[in-house]
Structure 1
């Protein structure tokens, strides 16, 4: 009888502690485990997936992500498009007979040796990068080897095409895509993407995407994160050949949102051509009817003069919204003498307060204000473990849902799942952070049950949310484009 009473008591207590797990998910796990251990009931139960921080955060996102009151109907996207050949970077370089030497960045790749040095340099940092390969014949040989390599995959590539594909997943949206579109790319595009006949060309532009896994090693180099190194010899996109076709197509298409990308591809051009083309970009943008929001998606760059020109030569004031990652943000600040420009690179996870300072500076110095006629009112920043949306007050709605939707799609697309699988993602965002280092910012403590944090600074509102990082990413290419597209899809622009 005593044995039975002991078993019953243990069962009752186990049930009670189980109820605590269910009813008080915010109670620290250490407290629950201590309680269980003190009762000597054996190994503590593992908190089930939905009650893990990752599960709670995903559930909170789902509740926050609501459709905007006014939705986009027609989205026009241009102007860079290509076929991405995705392959293991280490395996391809080995197949090319290369060995890991000293990691070194190159602004432009001129040889296979430059490719090897630049690849291991960024692999060792776990950082994404994109470079132009100057030698046409050598690039053609590398591209052929990559395309025929066992396991190589062909995908829609180029920021514009990837953003267009993401928008096209919403069947109630009409999507126009302009760019250099060859037969293979046309075949890969969603049926919901309309391509003007003037955008079609006989030969595809190929970009090589060298991927590496977190922890992957090659010689003395070990990748701290999964990421990719991109390179191409892309002249059509580099000259933005489809810009005029894009703008001329807008009158007939009548979009209510325009997305522009591909400015970074001009790095392979001469300085004179860059300046000339940039002025033509500004002129073309000015031809877009007033009142249609224009989002500019930036990408990896190494030419400070080109970046400075994009900032100062009326490109920023002509667009409504920006999308960029941590490398592009810091490079922008360095090129235009912004906050924290003395920082050579991010040391691990980009500091939230520093990121916030740079975003604030961009909108204060180049965004809309009472004394400035700029259209820029929104920036969507994304890095591996968190996102921030910053907006000038009074111009955008539903941004809380937008930043959450962008973060959610990062987790689902990287893991190739329809919804967040809490067992396959991890919460790696800083548990606490300061909102600024340029002024006395406030301290934020992360709460998975309330995953979007909001703060204000001189007429600018910031929306922060962590990202649930995929533990075993299936594909890292195009995440930034999917994030920006999803954030825009849930955004609502106030008419002027």
Structure 2
């Protein structure tokens, strides 16, 4: 399999030679794409995926200064995971053309939005406005053969991942009902103010790579999430969360759930966002805050988060390719003219947007009052960690730890199984698309490519993509959590 992938990469390079001249292949790649030969060295016969996996294991080391207490809030729920196509068929819906909807008002809206994202192989999350219709759909989902219940919500999923480290104490604040409380790791502390009588349920419609419904065929495995979730939508646990920090005294705060407010309507989110910013501003200045973003569609809401509200007062953000592009589109950043990514996002374009975020909304300028110094970007084929110089350490380990957990968790294995994954990252790329960026390449034996632009350093590593993923929900949360565990804050005085 890897020889086919390598041959395809060579063919692409050869075609490029016809138009741009033919640069020599990096020597570190040639040793892995030579033809099979019994006289070849053992290393040349090893699969690229195995070489990368082994290199990750040697690169991933815990930082000298580690977090001991992490507070996470504020969205939590129970996820009902089910076959998307199967459930929609059970709801007597027929396949047809796709159409995106910012808010779902009916089963037909659900079908159209699901098809829209399935044909792109992209993840999305939407609010379902009709409470009674949602309850009927949720009941059908729970009764559907093979449906599974899991811990859900970004905060709860991040908390669960952090709790796998026994020396790390985790506080989780959010709407925690009896079913969710029962499912949480025993190591997680839930303040009494977060407990409620009823659970919030989110429906996760999954589809497999190559799965077909009517004329729609999924290019890759992914999921479509929807809910009628008022507690999380209003961030009702935020004040309880912030009040709990005084006693818990965390050395890192992880915040998520802000994306759910946009489905509540402009009047509500404008007022609630101001209250949220006031609450977040009460967190001790020397405590770094990581904000986990998620799917959004309202440009005004995203602009409010970016410019005058949340982003300037957090230290770190985590986001995927859809959220990155939408953030640029909403703020008039680089490559905002793109309607969507075509295939694997171009590394140079991603690098341009990440730099713009840290220059326009972060502290890349020493005179800036913004706190943002770190952005963790993840997409299916690779991850990039961009940090302002002088604030974070151990970032090569952090970005590779995030990539490693993406590979293993998607396949449902404790460690990366090279036979179950494949390399989809580009072998050659540029550090910028807008400017005259440096030509860079992937070295499988040292799979972290590093470049600098101004006072921002970028660490990029490939992802070994699971060929037959068992579950895609929560991968982004696991990636961000793992990246944070391996990140080291140089000086809390900076925040």
TM score, norm. by length of structure 2: 0.92
Query: How far, CA to CA, are the matches of 1:182 and 1:207 in structure 2?
Result: 13
Alignment partner of 1:171: what SS? coil
**Contact 1:156–1:188 under 8 Å retained in 2:** yes
Residue 392 of structure 1, CA deviation = 0.3
Alignment partner of 1:388: what SS? strand
Residue 27 of structure 1, CA deviation = 5.2
Matched ranges for 1:235-384 at <5 A: 235-368=230-363, 369-384=365-380
The aligned counterpart of 1:202 is 197
Alpha carbons of structure 1 residues 221 and 49: separation in structure 2 relative to 1, 3 Å: farther
The aligned counterpart of 1:13 is none
Alignment partner of 1:131: what SS? strand
Question: Please, which runs of 5 or more residues in structure 1 have no aligned partner?
Answer: 1-23
Residue 26 of structure 1, CA deviation = 6.2
**Contact 2:387–2:456 under 8 Å retained in 1:** yes
Please list the CA deviations of residues 264-301 of structure 1 after superposition, one character each: whole Å capped at 9, or x if unmatched: 10022121211111111111111111111100000001
**Contact 2:28–2:444 under 8 Å retained in 1:** no
Query: How far, CA to CA, are the matches of 1:29 and 1:63 in structure 2?
Result: 19
Query: How far, CA to CA, are the matches of 1:396 and 1:25 in structure 2?
Result: 29
Residue 57 of structure 1, CA deviation = 0.2
Residue 29 of structure 1, CA deviation = 5.2
User: How large is the RMSD of aligned CA atoms in angstroms?
Assistant: 1.7
**Contact 2:29–2:444 under 8 Å retained in 1:** no
Point out the structure with max Rg over C-alpha: 1
Alpha carbons of structure 1 residues 216 and 29: separation in structure 2 relative to 1, 3 Å: same
Alignment partner of 2:461: what SS? strand
**Contact 2:32–2:48 under 8 Å retained in 1:** no
Query: How far, CA to CA, are the matches of 1:459 and 1:30 in structure 2?
Result: 36
**Contact 2:71–2:254 under 8 Å retained in 1:** yes
Question: Please, which runs of 5 or more residues in structure 2 have no aligned partner?
Answer: 1-26
Alignment partner of 1:209: what SS? strand
Query: How far, CA to CA, are the matches of 1:463 and 1:48 in structure 2?
Result: 26
Alpha carbons of structure 1 residues 49 and 323: separation in structure 2 relative to 1, 3 Å: farther
**Contact 1:50–1:422 under 8 Å retained in 2:** no
TM score, norm. by length of structure 1: 0.92
The aligned counterpart of 2:482 is 486
Structure 2 residue 424 is matched with structure 1 residue 428:
yes
Query: How far, CA to CA, are the matches of 2:400 and 2:46 in structure 1?
Result: 19
The aligned counterpart of 1:60 is 55
Matched ranges for 1:11-90 at <5 A: 28=31, 31-33=34-36, 35-36=37-38, 51-90=46-85
The aligned counterpart of 2:3 is none
**Contact 2:67–2:252 under 8 Å retained in 1:** yes
Moved more, 270-279 or 471-480: 270-279
Query: How far, CA to CA, are the matches of 2:29 and 2:191 in structure 1?
Result: 53
Query: How far, CA to CA, are the matches of 2:489 and 2:371 in structure 1?
Result: 12
Query: How far, CA to CA, are the matches of 2:231 and 2:461 in structure 1?
Result: 37
Moved more, 325-334 or 362-371: 362-371
Moved more, 55-64 or 270-279: 270-279
